[in-house]
Amino acid sequence: MNQPLNQKAGGEEYEYSQILLKLIHLRKTDYDKFMDELYVAVTGEFRNIIHDKTPVEEKLQAIDTMKNHFIKSGEQYEKCIELQRLRDELVEVSKLKERVHA
């Protein structure tokens, strides 16, 4: 379980469910590592996950939680900037969807 989420295991990329299991484990055992791995996932290979069916408010809350964590745990502002970009993208897409459905 020491392998980063974005690396290949046995020649194949981790399946989404395996990544979720790893994140669940890390959240309970090493919260800092959990946040780092979650950041890698949502800003990298799994960036499109922000467009799933989870309510937008929950996603925004999760992004804000991550930003607060990275500020408090060493002023990791570069990560906060990337998360803010992700948040802005999510808000913009949400507004576009509202206009289409209006």
For 6-41, the pLDDT digits (tens) are: 444 443 455 677 888 999 999 999 999 999 999 998
Q: What integer is the mean pLDDT of 68-74?
A: 93
In a domain? residue 66: yes
* Structural domains counted in the chain: 1
What are residue 49's phi and psi, to 5 degrees? Answer: -60, -25
Domain that holds residue 44: 8-101
In a domain? residue 3: no
In a domain? residue 40: yes
For 37-63, the pLDDT digits (tens) are: 999 988 987 788 777 888 999 999 999
Rg over CA atoms, the chain:
15
pTM across the whole model: 0.77
Both tokens assigned to 94: 């949400």
In a domain? residue 73: yes
In a domain? residue 36: yes
Taking a C-beta distance cutoff of 8 angstroms, is the pair 45, 18 a contact?
A: no
In a domain? residue 62: yes
In a domain? residue 88: yes
- At residue 92, does pLDDT exceed 90? yes
